[in-house]
Structure 1
Amino acid sequence: MDPDQIDPASEGRVLSPDDGDYLRFERTLAHPPAEVWQALTHPDRTAAWAYRTEFEPREGGAVTMSSGGDGEVLAWDEPHALEYAWEGYGGRWHVRIAIADSHHGTLLTFDHVAPDPNNPDFAAGWHWHLDRLEQHLAGEEPAQVDSDAHFEELQRLYTHAEG
């Protein structure tokens, strides 16, 4: 993946159903659902593309993040659905992830529910992390950095889209 090329199909968009706004990303990944699930839930794998995250694999289980956040698993349906929330930078974070078979591998639906799904920095951050997830799944090792030129470009993209 060329980090200088931003595929419009991979961009997040805010949806506004009756129960509140959320930021949605949809990605088609060329890997089977079980492989995607492992990349999303195994601590060593999550550390490669985001933050080391440990899950107690059940609804109501604990979530512990290397970034200092602690929370709870809200849904655990291996390898189809994962939902969790944690206290972290900016308040209570909440994400929902759905994994479905696709003709090309896996359809990943990633929803950022809170905090503020309209914040362009959160959109840029999740977009960047999902790009890094794709690199990890492709066998690449994303650089262990908090930011890079690709992230800065995503920040410009989402900030401009908002304005």
Structure 2
Amino acid sequence: MTSDVYRPSPPAQVGGEATGDRWTLVFVRDLRHPPEKVWRALTEPGQLSAWAPYTAGRDLSETGDVTLTMIDDENPLDMAAEVVRAEPPTLLEHTFGTDLLRWELAATGGGTRLTLRHTVQDRDMLPKAAAGWHICLDVAEKLLDGRPIPPIRGAAAVDFGWSELNDRYARRLGVPDTGLPRHLEDGNGTA
């Protein structure tokens, strides 16, 4: 069903930066929708659950503690998180397990340039994160277009081009392609 209506879009602009003893994926994507609409997709729990690998226990438009629930497989996992910065509709920064997500939104003549900075522990996670966010943001764009498709998360993403995207992003980032993340190889689907 979803495979009939979804094919990955062309790869996004990506980069990788050393951030102390961690690494930051810089993922840039242009969306056809204004920042206010994209902001709601990033912050409202009902919209997050339609495209992201997690949902939130509350709207993410305000700083403070929040529970993010990983929903990328059949066993949801609650994670304590914190919204560090929320400046509607241009900047959202929150923890994601041990990672940090920084969503920057800039208006571009009716659309939005979204820059996601995803800070991870290990450099080999950069292409994996890029491939995952690529598919999630494809689904988000369909939601924003008013043509939603079911979310594509976790191990199911492999059936929708995740491996090919991971390989392409690994080459672009100069990072070895180490395949599936360990939690998906193990089959337990938890982060």
Could you tell me the TM-score, scaled by structure 1's length?
0.81
CA deviation profile, 1:103-134 (whole Å, cap 9, x unmatched) = 24111111101233542222211222122221
Match of 1:64 in 2: 67
**Paired AA for residue 61 in structure 2:** P
Alpha-carbon spacing, 1:104–1:117, altered in 2? closer, same or farther (3 Å):
farther
CA deviation profile, 1:118-152 (whole Å, cap 9, x unmatched) = 42222211222122221221122232343232223
Percent identity (aligned): 32
The unaligned stretches of length 5 or more in structure 2 are 71-77, 177-191
CA-CA distance at 1:86 after TM superposition: 3.1
Alpha-carbon spacing, 1:57–1:17, altered in 2? closer, same or farther (3 Å):
closer
Match of 1:94 in 2: 100
Q: Aligned to 1:69, what secondary structure does the other structure show?
A: strand
Equivalent residues of 2:31, 2:114 under 8 A apart: yes
Q: Which is further off, 36-45 or 18-27?
A: 18-27
1:142 aligns with 2:149: yes
Q: Aligned to 2:49, what secondary structure does the other structure show?
A: helix
Match of 1:52 in 2: 55
Match of 1:133 in 2: 140
The unaligned stretches of length 5 or more in structure 1 are none
CA-CA distance at 1:100 after TM superposition: 1.2
Q: What RMSD, in angstroms, separates the aligned Cα atoms of the two structures?
A: 2.5
Equivalent residues of 2:8, 2:135 under 8 A apart: no
Could you tell me the TM-score, scaled by structure 2's length?
0.70
Report how many aligned residue pairs link the two structures. Answer: 156
Tell me the distance in 2 between the aligned counterparts of 1:62 and 1:151. 31
Tell me the distance in 1 between the aligned counterparts of 2:123 and 2:39. 24
